Chain A
Amino acid sequence: MSTATAKTELEGVELAAPDQERLSALLVGQERPPRPSALSASMTFGWRAMLKIKHVPEQLFDVTAFPIMLVLMYTYLFGGALAGSTEEYIQFLLPGIMVMSVVMITMYTGVAVNTDIAKGVFDRFRTLPIWRPAPMVGYLLGDVLRYLLASAVMLGIGMIIGFRPDGGVLGVLAGVALLIVFSFAFSWIWTMFGLLLRSEKSVMGVSMMVIFPLTFLSNVFVDPKTMPGWLQAFVNNSPVTHLATAVRELMEGDWPASDIAWTLGWAGVLLVVFGAVTMRLYNRK
């Protein structure tokens, strides 16, 4: 049903005057329940994110169509030139392009935060006596679902065009799990920008400035060996490189302990630093 019809129907609804007695009955004899736990409040905000997906399913474009496009584009564009054949290249590329896409779509968190602030609903949340980070954690829980969806879609399309991970189901799941953990922590950068910047456009702009260099200047597309030394220094130490290497090797069936440790370390640092800044901004807003 289109929005237009809904609107007309609603305008047709004759608003009944609120009944005084019934209203009074609503106000008396109420007990205030104890405040919800941090987990319960966060899950409730996560549920809100699900409801928003249900009502505005178009927002799933960037976790479905966009990743498919990236996989196909880069596989057929670079496959022949870089690895001799697309079948060869997809083995190398898919885990990396998954990392890149999921890290890229984390930036929509900032846009969502910023859009909410512009509306009154944020004020309501901020006057509730709940665990303060719950609304932010709620956004990220909703986003975790989006990351999972994007990962599944990319794995699906990858398998169709020839990706065959040696690590089997367990290796693939471990890779995806690591990617989700990192993305959850990384998203706090965007909650910070969402609170800090004034408009949705500026959030998008800044996000692009951060995300493009960070994802492209990594080992997602090619081995960094051929890059100039100064660039290698950056690329080899980038969290995205550690993450891409870890995910790639997990899916190949290896156990890249050092890259996993680096990735989790980065995730911890991002979470602590940007989580703290986000909450400070949230309380001060």
Chain B
Amino acid sequence: MSTELAIETTGLVKVFGDNRAVDGIDLAVPTGTVYGVLGPNGAGKTTAVRMLATLLRPDGGTARVFGKDVVKEADAVRSRVSLTGQYASVDEDLTGVENLVLLARLLGHSKPAARDRAAQLLEGFGLSEAAGRQVKNYSGGMRRRIDIAASILNTPDVLFLDEPTTGLDPRSRNQVWDIVRAVVAHGTTVLLTTQYLDEADQLASRVAVIDHGKVIAEGTKGELKASVGAGTVHVRLRDAGRRAEAQRVLALALNAEVQLEADPVALTARVDGRSTEQGAAEQAGRALAELARLGITVDNFSLGQPSLDEVFLALTDKKGVAA
């Protein structure tokens, strides 16, 4: 296992007018892994990826891909990376097969080799039937596939996927995930940007959370989750009259602050799995049992992973305290 870094940035900055879109980002992406860059719209994810893919010049700091500088050795970087952008990076007027043959030719394949490769990829991506259709008539899921197929015409050493599943239905999303897993299994390093914690969870081994152009948290998935809390308990009671009582019971059992929702029978609490010996599920189970013992009827109960909103609130809160 090589310890070489696939991607390394130090103090990366990009400014658009008054907006510091990327404001000093340090990343270290180990070779052969999926690295998730998580953040809301406008956090600077796309800008950072565009700099790494040699599409934008950094205004400050450095970025290297396999030790090659993205500005000074752009061509060397380009020969090892592929980018699948947020919008389909294929020609909509051309058919699926024409797009792939065109790009294969540009990568140096001979005409017959380009045709073969295009046919193989279309087949492998389940697009053979649509091969002769213009891409503008493709569904969202098909566009994503042809786009990713175009990115692996030559198996890249680094694949940038900029929000690959935004706007896809759940089935197409799962299929894109399968493709990403297959690509990584072959040693390609994937840098994935996403707005969905779930997606980072499914695919990435390390995650950087960015907001306002800065990395606000970085680590393995486990570390990141632990820093936020294990999850959120949602409880709906049958009788609104007993909510105050339930709030006290839950606060005690969960050792957490319990919030009253706008809905008069609902309560939520963020469970911090680290504070006790037991895991979050066990804590929640005890709380539920306690409510039952007191005869407070629970209509609905769930323990969910922290949502991205919660991750952000938690992380930005913490930053506020630290500062």
To the question of whether A and B form a pair in one complex, the answer is yes
Interface of A, helix, strand, loop or mixed by DSSP = helix
| Inter-subunit contact A48/B102 (CB<8 Å) | yes
| Inter-subunit contact B126/A6 (CB<8 Å) | no
> In the complex the two chains form, what is the Cα distance from A32 to B83 in whole Å?
17
Query: Residues of A contacting B192 with CB < 8 Å?
Result: none
| Inter-subunit contact B106/A123 (CB<8 Å) | no
Give how many B residues have a beta carbon under 8 Å from the other chain's beta carbons: 62
Indicate whether B297 reaches chain A with its CB closer than 8 angstroms: no
| Inter-subunit contact B137/A3 (CB<8 Å) | yes
Q: Given the known inter-chain contacts A18-B175, A127-B82, please indicate yes or no for A33 contacting B107, CB distance below 8 A.
A: yes
Query: Residues of A contacting B85 with CB < 8 Å?
Result: 120, 123-124
Q: Tally inter-chain residue pairs, CB-CB below 8 A.
A: 152
> In the complex the two chains form, what is the Cα distance from A121 to B151 in whole Å?
12
> In the complex the two chains form, what is the Cα distance from A109 to B55 in whole Å?
22
Interface flags for B121-145 (1: CB within 8 Å of A; 0: not) read 1011110011001101111011001
| Inter-subunit contact B129/A13 (CB<8 Å) | yes
| Inter-subunit contact B91/A121 (CB<8 Å) | yes
Residue of B nearest to A135 (CB): B106
| Inter-subunit contact B121/A129 (CB<8 Å) | no
Interface residues of A in 91-129 (CB under 8 A from B): 119-121, 123-129
Residue in A30, A48, A51 whose beta carbon sits within 8 Å of that of B155 in the complex: A30
Indicate whether B78 reaches chain A with its CB closer than 8 angstroms: yes
| Inter-subunit contact B94/A48 (CB<8 Å) | yes
| Inter-subunit contact B125/A18 (CB<8 Å) | yes
> In the complex the two chains form, what is the Cα distance from A22 to B91 in whole Å?
25
Query: Residues of A contacting B53 with CB < 8 Å?
Result: 123, 127
Residue in B103, B137, B178 whose beta carbon sits within 8 Å of that of A6 in the complex: B137
> In the complex the two chains form, what is the Cα distance from A35 to B104 in whole Å?
11
Interface flags for A29-47 (1: CB within 8 Å of B; 0: not) read 0101111100011001101
12 more CB-based (< 8 A) A-B contacts, given A6-B133, A18-B124: A3-B136, A6-B134, A13-B129, A17-B175, A25-B124, A33-B108, A33-B109, A33-B110, A52-B91, A120-B90, A121-B89, A123-B85
